Amino acid sequence: MPTSLSLKWRRALRRQAADPSQQDQHFLALLLGAWSSRRPVGLTGFAISVATGIGAGTASVALQMALRGSVSAPFSTQVAIGATVGAIAMIATRRRFAAQQARHAAAMALASSFLDASRDCVKLLDLQGQMLRINDYGATLMEASSPVQLAGADWLGFWKGGDRDAATTAFRNALNGTPASFRGTCTTTAGQPKWWDSQLIPVKDHGGKVVAVVCASLDITNQTQLLQQLRAKSELMSEMEAHVQLVFFSYSANFEYFHYITAGSSNVFGLEPEEFMRNPNSWRELVVPEDRAALQAEMTRIMTESTEGRAQYRIRKADGSVRWVRSTGYPVIGDNGDVLRIVGITEDVTAEQERIAELDRLAYTDSLTGLANRAALLREIESRCAASKPFGLMFVDLDRFKVLNDTLGHLAADHLLRHVGGIIRRSLPDDAYIARLGGDEFAVLIGSVVDQPGLEAQAKALLGGLSENRLEGLAGAFITASIGISIYPEHGSGHDALLSSADVAMYAAKKTGRNGYQFAGKEAARTIGDFELERDVPEALATNQFFLHFQTIHEPHSLAVHGAEALIRWQHPRRGRISPGDFIPLLEETGFVEDVGVWVLDNALRQLAAWRQAGAMNLGVSVNVSARQLGSEQIVQQVDRALKRHGIPPGKLEIELTETALMKNPKQARTSIVELKRLGARIAIDDFGTGYSSLMYLADFEPHTLKIDRHFTSKIEHDPTTQTIVEGIIDLAHKLGIQVIAEGVEQTAQLDILRRVNCDYVQGYLLSRPQAPEGLMTRAQPGARIGPRVRTGAASPRRSAPDCGPTTDRPN
C-alpha cells in the first residue's frame, strides 16, 4: 500500500504521467535535471543525459523505486514516460518492456550513486521545507549518523537570525519558480556552526508547476574562516598604518619603481602611495643633501652584497619640517641568485633621535654652567688628536676659591662659577672649546692659535677679563686664576698626557704667586711622576705594596735591644723600590697619610704581637703619627682599637710626634696627647732641638721621651759646642723625668760620648740598619747583644731603661 507521502507526490505528478506507477521515475528525472543544471562539467553532464533520457520517454519501463527519507517503506509503481509513449508501451512486447525496464533501472541507480558521490550537501525539500532526502556526503557534512536521521527535518530550522531570513527568502523564491542562492551559517546536528554557499533550484512538472526544491550547499567553512583571518589582519594593518609612523614597501631591484607601498607613506614622507608609484624618485628628493650619498651607498651595498641593510637619514617634508627616518631593506633572492626586489620598512625616528640628543646633551654638558663637561672635553681632545692638527690646551683654576666658597656660601659660589664661564667665553676666540671639569677647574681648547706667543696672549686676555670683574658680596675682591698651558703634540699625544702637563703647569703658576700662567716643561714632566705616585696610593694599600722594616733601639752600654722603630717602605710594581723621602711628603700633602698611618699602626702592632709570642716580651715599638693624624678626632679611637685588636699593653707603644705636628694645631694636639696618655701609650718628641719652641713643648705636652736629631749626633765628636748642647738636653730631660734617645749614631766615637753623657738609648747604622722583621728575631730575644764590631762599655750610673723606642719614617 503506498504511503500518504508517496500518494502526495503521485498527485503532484499526475498531470505529467498517465500511469501513476511511472511517477517516481519522472520525479527522479526532474530532480537530477534540476540539480544538474548548476553543474558545468564532469559527471554533471552524465547526470543531465540520464535525466534527459528518462524524461524524454524513449521507452516505457516498470521500475521499483525506494525513496529514502520521508518514505517509511519501499513501494512499487508503474511510471508512464509521457502519455502517448505510455499508450504505445502498453502494446509492446513483454520482452522489449523487460529490456527497457532493465536499462532505466540501471540509469536510475547510476543517477542515485552520482548524487551520493557528490561533494556537495544535496537535499530534496518539499513545499514546506522538510527534507525528503539528503545525499550521503551531505549527511556527513551535517554530522548526522545517516541520511535517515535528517529525513523529515525542517531545513529552515537549522538557520538562525539573519541567516534564517536569507534562507527563507531564497526558499520562497525557489517555490515561486526562481532559482536563488545565498551564503550563511547553520548549525549541524552536533551544534557546530558551518558556513555554506547554497543554491536552491525549483523542481517543476511538465506543466511548469513547482513540486519540490533541490538545495545544493557547498561547505565554505575553511575558506570563510581564512577570509575572516585575512580580513582581520588587513584591518589590523590598516589600523596600525593609521596610528604608527611605519611604511612597508617593495622596491624594484634597480630602484626604478615600487611594486607596493603602504598608506603610511603619507604620515612618514607626506606623500600618498600613488605618488610613489607615479614618481618612484619623489621620496629621494626629500632627503637632505648631506645624507644622500650615505643613503645611496647603503642601497648599493644591499644589491652588491645581497644582504640586509639599514640607513638613517633626514628628510625635509613639504611643510619645511625636518624629520629623521630609518629604512631597513631586505633583498629577495631568486633561484639564480640574483636580487629580484627589495622589501623593507621605513619608520619615523625623530622622537628617538631627539631623546638621544637630549641624553647626549645631559651626558656631555655641565649642569651648572651649561658648558661642556669633562667627558665631552676628553672626547673632543681625542677627536682633535685623531685629526693630527696642533691645538693648545689651557687648564684654568680659580685662585682662593675655597675661601670664597666658604665666605659667600654655595649658592653664591655657584653663581660665581656660572659668571666665570661667561667671562671665559667672552675673553677668548669664538672657536674656543670651553669645558668645566668640576669644582673651580675649567679647560679651554684653542685651534686657531697654536704657538706659544699666541697662547700666551690668550692667557693674558683671559686673566685680564677675570680681573676686571669684581666679586659680588665682597667689596674690592677680584677674580683671579692660575693657568697651565700645554700644546699638542709637543706636550702629549692624548688627553691624559696633555691634561697632566697643563695641570702641573697650572700648579707651577700657583707656586709663583697665582694670577698667572705657565707652559708645560721639564719641571712639569718631573711633577707628573709625583701625581702618578699619588694616583697609585689606593692601589698600593689594597694590594699590599707597602711593607715595614724595623730599626732597633739599644741600651748604649750593654747594647741590649729595648725597642724598634717601624719604617714604611713601598715596592712599586713598575718603579721598583721607592724612597720614603719621595712618597711620604706626597702622602702628607694629599691626605693619604691618614690611611697609610692607620695601616702602619696596625701592622707594627701585629708584628710586635708576633715577637711577644716568640718570647720578646720586653720589646716595644715606636710608630710616628703625622700632623694630620694628630689633628684628627679619630686618632685616639684608632690607637685604642689597634692595641686591643692585637693584645698589646699600651705601655709597649710609643707614639712619635714631630715639632711640626705639634705646631699645626696646638690645641687639638694637646687634647689628643692627653687622651693617648690616658690610654697608657707613651709620647715621644722627635727631632728635638730643630724647632723654635722646643723647651715650651716640654712643659706643655710632658712627653715620655725626647729624640735628639741626627744633626746634633753627627757633630758631637768634632764640635765641643754641639757636645755641650747634647749634654745639656740630656741633663734637662732627666731632671724633668724624660728619657732621651740619640738618633743617627754611625761612629764608635759618637757612641762613646753618648755613653759618657748618660744618654738613655741610641739608634743608628753603627748598631743596626733597618731590616725585615724576620731578621730581628735573634736581636729581640731577652739579653741579646749586637755584633762583635761594636765593643760594649762599662755600665755608667743612669736612669732605668724604657720599655720601647722609636717610630716610622716621618710623613710630615
Give the pLDDT confidence of 158-203 residue by residue, as tens digits. 999 999 999 999 999 999 999 999 999 999 999 999 999 999 999 9
Residue 515 contacts residue 463 (beta carbons within 8 Å): yes
pLDDT of residue 807: 39
Q: Do the Cβ atoms of 24 and 8 come closer than 8 Å?
A: no
H/E element holding 321?
A: none
pLDDT of residue 110: 64
749-775 pLDDT tens trace? 999 999 999 999 999 999 999 999 987
Q: Could you read off the pLDDT of 62-79 as tens digits, one per residue?
A: 333 333 333 333 333 333
- Residue that finishes a domain, picked among 69, 89, 117: 117
Mean pLDDT of 490-498: 86
| Selection from 20-34, 114-128, 546-560 with the highest mean pLDDT | 546-560
CATH code where residue 455 lies: 3.30.70.270
Strand segments (E) across 143-292 = 180-187, 193-204, 210-219, 246-252, 258-261
pLDDT of residue 57: 39
Q: Is residue 630 part of a domain?
A: yes
Read off the pLDDT band of 584 (50, 70, 90).
confident
Which three-class secondary structure state does DSSP give residue 546? strand
Q: How many domains does the chain have?
A: 4
C-alpha 504/C-alpha 68 separation (Å) is 113
Above 90 in pLDDT, residue 494? no
Give 298: exposed, middle or buried? Use CB within 10 Å, 0-12, 13-18, 19+: middle
Strands 258-261 and 739-742: unpaired
Which amino acid is residue 803, in one-letter code? D
Shared domain check, 497 and 374: yes
* Alpha-carbon span 317 to 327, nearest angstrom: 16
Within a domain: 585: yes
pLDDT value for 789: 46
The pLDDT of residue 522 is 57
Same domain, 376 and 483: yes
Task: Please state, in angstroms and rounded to a whole number, the distance separating the CA atoms of residues 424 and 442.
Answer: 9
Let me know if residue 723 belongs to a domain.
Answer: yes
Identify the pLDDT of residue 512: 79
Residue 277 lies in a domain: yes
Q: Tell me, what CATH number does 326's domain have?
A: 3.30.450.20
Whole-number pLDDT of residue 645 = 96
Average pLDDT, the chain: 81
Residue spans of beta strands (DSSP E) within 681-724: 682-688, 705-708
pLDDT reported for residue 31: 54
CA dihedral 683, 688, 690, 695 (to 10 degrees): 90
pTM of the model: 0.42
* Rounded Cα gap, residues 44 and 189, in angstroms: 29
The CB density around residue 630, as the number of other CB atoms within 10 Å, is 22
Residue 558 CA to its chain's centroid (Å): 72
Note down the domain range covering 52. 1-117
The three-class DSSP label of residue 271 is coil
pLDDT in the model for residue 668: 84
Cα separations in angstroms, 463 against 393, 418, 424, 558: 15, 16, 9, 67
Query: Are 454 and 505 part of one and the same domain?
Result: yes
* pLDDT at residue 40 greater than cutoff 50: no
Residue 809 pLDDT more than 50? no
The amino acid that residue 53 corresponds to is G
Which of 117, 143, 178 terminates a domain? The answer is: 117
Question: Do residues 291 and 325 both lie within one domain?
Answer: yes
Span 628-641, average pLDDT: 90
Tens of pLDDT, residue by residue over 686-728, are: 888 765 556 777 778 889 999 998 889 999 999 999 999 999 9
Q: Has residue 675 got a pLDDT over 90?
A: yes
**CA 590 – CA 118 distance, rounded (Å):** 101
Residue 291 has pLDDT above 60, yes or no: yes
Q: In what order do the strands lie in the sheet with 441-446?
A: 433-438, 441-446, 391-398, 481-488, 517-519
Residue 479 pLDDT:
82
CA atoms of 754 and 218, how far apart (whole Å): 128
Per-residue cell: 290: 648631506
Backbone angles phi, psi at 702, to 5 degrees: 45, 65
Q: Do the beta carbons of residue 310 and residue 318 sit within 8 Å? A: no
Question: Residue 138: inside a domain, yes or no?
Answer: no
Q: How confident is the model at residue 589 (pLDDT cuts 50, 70, 90)?
A: confident
Are 509 and 587 in a shared domain?
Answer: no
| Structural domain ending residue among the three candidates 83, 117, 151 | 117
Answer yes or no: do 7 and 86 share one domain.
Answer: yes
Nearest Cα neighbor of 701 from 680, 685, 679 is 685
Angle separating helix axes 694-701 and 666-679, nearest 10 degrees: 50
Q: Is the pLDDT of residue 511 over 50?
A: yes
For residues 356 and 51, which has the higher predicted lDDT (pLDDT)? Answer: 356
In this predicted model, which residue has the larger pLDDT, 103 or 354?
354
Give SS3 for 553: strand
Q: Is residue 218 part of a domain?
A: no
DSSP 478: B
Which of 479-488, 536-545, 789-798 is predicted with the least confidence, judged by mean pLDDT?
Answer: 789-798
What confidence category does residue 257 fall into, taking pLDDT thresholds of 50, 70 and 90?
Answer: confident
Q: What is the pLDDT of residue 108?
A: 59
Please check whether residues 439 and 515 belong to one and the same domain. yes
Decide which of 425 and 86 is more confident. 425
387 in the same domain as 492: yes
* Half-sphere exposure at residue 479, Cβ-oriented, CA atoms within 13 angstroms: 26
- How close are the terminal C-alpha atoms of the chain, in Å? 137
Cell numbers given for 422: 661667561
449-468 pLDDT per residue, tens: 888 999 999 999 999 988 87
* pLDDT in the model for residue 692: 54
Q: Which single residue is written with the C-alpha cell 692607620?
A: 598
Cα separation of 177 and 213, whole Å? 9
Alpha-carbon gap, residue 807 to 791, rounded angstroms: 26
Judging by DSSP bridges, how do beta strands 339-348 and 246-252 pair with one another? antiparallel
Q: Is the pLDDT of residue 785 over 80?
A: no
| High-pLDDT (> 90) share of the chain, % | 47
Mean pLDDT of 515-538: 74
Residues facing 522 on adjacent strands: none
> Does residue 565 sit in the same domain as residue 648?
yes
Higher-confidence residue: 226 or 69?
226
Query: Which range is least confidently modeled, 76-85, 204-213, 358-367, 399-408?
Result: 76-85
Flag whether 124 is in a domain.
Answer: no
Residue 191: inside a domain, yes or no? no
> Is residue 296 domain-shared with residue 371, that is, in the same domain?
no
Q: Which residues contact 715 (CB under 8 A, 6 or more apart)?
A: 722
The grid coordinates listed for 747 are 761612629
Rounded Cα gap, residues 161 and 168, in angstroms: 11
Q: Are residues 727 and 583 in the same domain?
A: yes
Pair (387, 329) in one structural domain: no
